[in-house]
């Protein structure tokens, strides 16, 4: 696509959906597209479906209009996914996607093989929000849309520090700033600001983390009973794996937390030598070269052993190359 208007021509109803446990890029891209269509295509009935977004995204206009329940029988003229790397990652709106007359996938995950009728996937781009911005009319990106796009971009670039950040990324950020977005506040409130309990949990994970593979791999973990003790959920654990990655000498950071007995969520971050998207895909997940994730079953030790074995393979191959 050159412009989102191409797929909106003649459409009367549009549904928008993102992936499970939506992060900043997912929420930002879905809401930016929703706000853009609602303002510039007023004849289209548009709805956005997501799992409950975190309170840190409350600065995005109309965030309370997100639908967290699905009308089972509804059939949209067009359903658009944003930041969804694979069909089985689509959250509560999977049934709506299945019954839509036409589907579109907008994404930036290198692991995305394309599962919609129209696939606009740019794996070299920093975020889905940046991909989306490229198919919007820049003159129509107002304050509300810009706020949502900027939110997603800072989340998936680590506030423009990840290697996926390009000169084009920074150019777009500058264009968004021209709309008057409160960029400093967005960064603080949606990316860095933590509650007292979140800081306690991060401190515990860091204190109990372990180094493996001659110090090239660091692992932090949190069991369900500990999460219950602190009263936190997975949505409260953002930033932990990124902090682990900053440990000197580390090539790969792994953060594991227990969803339920024998079921774990795994987040992976790399400093460059290891392609963690390959590790995640091997276990049924997905992501990017330096940031990826997956879900695994078994004991904590099984999860650690299986993940680190795949990482060790890549490091060994590099050493022997």
Which CATH fold would you assign to the domain 196-320?
Diaminopimelate Epimerase; Chain A, domain 1 (3.10.310)
CA distances from 105 to 30, 113, 121, 163, 269 (A): 12, 10, 7, 24, 25
Same fold, 5-192 and 196-320: no
User: What is the distance between the alpha carbons of residues 194 and 132, in angstroms, rounded to a whole number?
Assistant: 29
CB atoms within 10 A of CB 8: 20
CB atoms within 10 A of CB 309: 10
Q: Using one digit for the tens of pLDDT, what is the confidence trace for 93-149?
A: 999 999 999 999 999 988 888 999 999 999 999 999 999 999 999 999 999 999 999
> What's residue 102's pLDDT?
98
Report, as ranges of residue numbers, the positions in the chain whose pLDDT lies below 70: none
Superfamily of domain 5-192: inorganic pyrophosphatase (n-terminal core) (3.90.1640.10)
> What's residue 122's pLDDT?
95
* C-alpha count within 13 angstroms, C-beta hemisphere, residue 284: 8
> What's residue 91's pLDDT?
85
pTM across the whole model:
0.81
CB 48 within 8 Å of CB 68: no
Most distant pair of Cα atoms in the chain: their distance: 60
What b/e string do you get for 89-105 counting C-beta neighbours within 10 Å, with b at 16 or more? Answer: bbbbbbebbeebeebbb
Domain extent listing, the chain: 5-192, 196-320
CB 200 within 8 Å of CB 230: yes
CB 300 within 8 Å of CB 286: no
What b/e string do you get for 178-199 counting C-beta neighbours within 10 Å, with b at 16 or more? Answer: eeebebeebbebbbeeeeeebe
> What's residue 235's pLDDT?
82
């Amino acid at each position: 696509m050159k412009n989102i208007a191409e797929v909106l021509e003649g459409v009367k109803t549009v549904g928008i959906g993102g992936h499970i446990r939506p992060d900043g890029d997912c929420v930002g891209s879905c809401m930016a597209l929703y706000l853009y269509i609602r303002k510039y295509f007023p004849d289209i009935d548009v709805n956005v479906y997501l799992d409950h977004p975190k309170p840190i995204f409350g600065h995005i206009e109309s965030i309370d209009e997100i639908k967290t329940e699905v009308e089972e029988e509804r059939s949209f003229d067009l359903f658009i996914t944003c930041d969804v790397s694979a069909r089985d990652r689509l959250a509560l709106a999977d049934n709506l996607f299945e019954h839509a007359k036409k589907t579109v996938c907008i994404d930036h995950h290198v692991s995305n093989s394309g599962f919609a009728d129209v696939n606009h996937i740019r794996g070299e781009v920093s975020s889905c929000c940046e991909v989306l911005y490229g198919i919007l009319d820049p003159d129509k990106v107002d304050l509300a849309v810009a706020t949502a796009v900027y939110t997603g971009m800072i989340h998936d670039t680590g506030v423009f520090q990840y290697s996926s950040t390009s000169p084009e990324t920074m150019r777009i950020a500058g264009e968004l700033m021209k709309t008057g977005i409160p960029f400093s506040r967005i960064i603080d409130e949606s990316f860095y600001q933590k509650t007292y309990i979140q800081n306690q949990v991060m401190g515990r994970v860091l204190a109990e983390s372990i180094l493996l593979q001659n110090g090239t791999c660091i692992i932090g973990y949190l069991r369900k009973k500990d999460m219950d003790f602190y009263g936190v959920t997975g949505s409260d654990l953002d930033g932990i794996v990124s902090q682990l990655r900053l440990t000197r000498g580390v090539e790969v950071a792994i953060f594991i937390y227990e969803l339920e007995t024998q079921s774990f969520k795994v987040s992976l971050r790399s400093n460059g030598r290891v392609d963690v998207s390959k590790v995640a895909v091997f276990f049924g997940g997905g992501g990017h070269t330096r940031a990826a994730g997956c879900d695994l079953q078994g004991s904590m030790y099984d999860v650690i052993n299986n993940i680190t074995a795949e990482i060790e393979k890549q490091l060994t191959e590099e050493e022997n190359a």
